[in-house]
């Protein structure tokens, strides 16, 4: 594989930057020449300074260094998530089966994650398989999650509720919130942890509804409202409104909630193919459940 210095050289030339602009105050000119020829390694602290001078993040540099390709782990995750978003469950099941015994540890972990996705889809109570337990135990035992691990955490919600009961969910929620908070800075949410938290709250809301834990479901509104919308992407703002609209069907102004959901479906209807087909199904199911819930209260 190309040495880091050779990739830096290519980037520097592409951006039409001089060695002085990139290396001044970091390394000597002679070191920079050897580094760009692939003859010298460099300390991580100095590499980060060079990347700052190039205006490139470490993740982007790694992507370029791999000839503009994601890492093998990222490729595996993207494939699994693509199958799931397309609801192509036969293809997802095949991928899991082909990689569950892979010699590569990251492929075994992603296969376990994929198996959890298959188990969690449209099921309120789940029995852990041997494959799914790999990811489940990994996430449960890790004290502090990386951002990549945080993206897996929402699938823990139905598994934990099924194995330990909904009483175990508040502790998981606190851990998710604490881990997401670590990524918040005075300059915003640079690594996009809040979308993960928004997704988690949506999953938590649905699971508590599935288990008829209406007190816990009702309490989620305050968490959704506490999200800083200025730091959310368009998708997460829309998701937040979806959950607030469904919340209103159950516990608030049902007319206003229905209006919010109608506006969301009208937006989805404007695009072909639709942005997220699952939105229609979520709204259909939860609307009926909300009517039944309110009918029992009267």
- Which tokens hold the place of 204? 């938590």
- Residue-range domain boundaries for the chain: 4-65, 70-141, 148-298
What pLDDT is attached to residue 277? Answer: 67
pLDDT at 124 over 60: no
295 or 278, which is more confident? 295
Percentage above 90 pLDDT, the chain: 67
Mind listing the pLDDT tens digit for each residue in 74-88?
Answer: 999 999 989 987 878
Instruction: Give which of 205, 199, 235, 209 is closest to 222, Cα–Cα.
Output: 205
Question: In the predicted model, what is the mean pLDDT of the chain?
Answer: 90
Greatest alpha-carbon span in the chain: 82
pLDDT band for position 17 (cuts 50, 70, 90): very high
pLDDT band for position 111 (cuts 50, 70, 90): very high
This prediction's pTM: 0.81
Cβ-Cβ contacts under 8 Å for 58 (sequence gap 6 or more) = 48, 51
Cβ-Cβ contacts under 8 Å for 44 (sequence gap 6 or more) = none
What pLDDT is attached to residue 133? Answer: 83
SS3 185: strand
The answer to whether 241 touches 264, Cβ cutoff 8 Å, is: yes
- DSSP secondary-structure letter at 168? G
Mind listing the pLDDT tens digit for each residue in 19-69?
Answer: 999 999 999 999 999 999 999 899 999 999 999 999 999 999 999 999 999
Locus of tokens 């809040």: 194
Locus of tokens 């300074």: 49
Sign of CA dihedral 133, 135, 140, 141: positive
Mean pLDDT of 226-252: 94
Instruction: Give which of 16, 19, 39 is closest to 27, Cα–Cα.
Output: 19
Q: 32 vs 21, 42, 58, 151, 199, CA distance in Å?
A: 12, 10, 19, 38, 44
pLDDT at 101 over 60: yes
The answer to whether 260 touches 224, Cβ cutoff 8 Å, is: no
To the question of domain 4-65 being in CATH 1.10.260.40, the answer is yes
């Amino acid at each position: 594989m190309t040495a880091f210095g050779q990739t830096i050289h290519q980037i520097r030339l592409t951006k039409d930057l001089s060695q002085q602009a990139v290396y001044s105050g970091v390394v000597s000119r002679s070191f920079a020449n050897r580094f760009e020829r692939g003859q010298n390694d460099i300390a991580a602290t100095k590499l980060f300074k060079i990347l700052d001078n190039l205006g490139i993040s470490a993740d982007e540099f790694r992507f370029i260094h791999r000839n503009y390709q994601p890492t093998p782990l990222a490729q595996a995750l993207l494939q699994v998530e693509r199958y799931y978003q397309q609801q192509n469950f036969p293809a997802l099941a095949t991928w899991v089966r082909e990689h569950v015994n892979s010699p590569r540890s990251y492929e075994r972990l992603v296969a376990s994650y994929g198996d959890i996705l298959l188990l969690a889809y449209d099921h309120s109570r789940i029995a852990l398989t041997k494959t799914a337990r790999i990811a489940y135990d990994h996430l449960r035992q890790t004290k502090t999650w990386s951002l990549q691990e945080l993206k897996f955490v929402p699938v823990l919600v139905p598994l934990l509720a099924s194995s330990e009961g909904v009483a175990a969910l508040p502790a998981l929620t606190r851990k998710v919130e604490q881990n997401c908070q670590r990524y918040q800075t005075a300059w915003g949410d640079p690594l996009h942890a809040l979308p993960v938290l928004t997704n988690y709250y949506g999953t938590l809301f649905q699971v508590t509804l599935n288990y008829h834990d209406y007190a816990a479901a009702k309490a989620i509104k305050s968490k959704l409202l506490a999200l800083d919308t200025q730091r959310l992407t368009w998708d997460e703002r829309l998701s937040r409104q979806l959950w607030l609209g469904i919340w209103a069907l159950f516990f608030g102004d049902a007319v206003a909630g229905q209006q919010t959901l109608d506006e969301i479906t009208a937006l989805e209807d404007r695009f072909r193919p639709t942005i997220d087909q699952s939105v229609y199904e979520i709204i259909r199911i939860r609307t009926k459940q909300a009517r039944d819930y309110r009918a029992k209260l009267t």
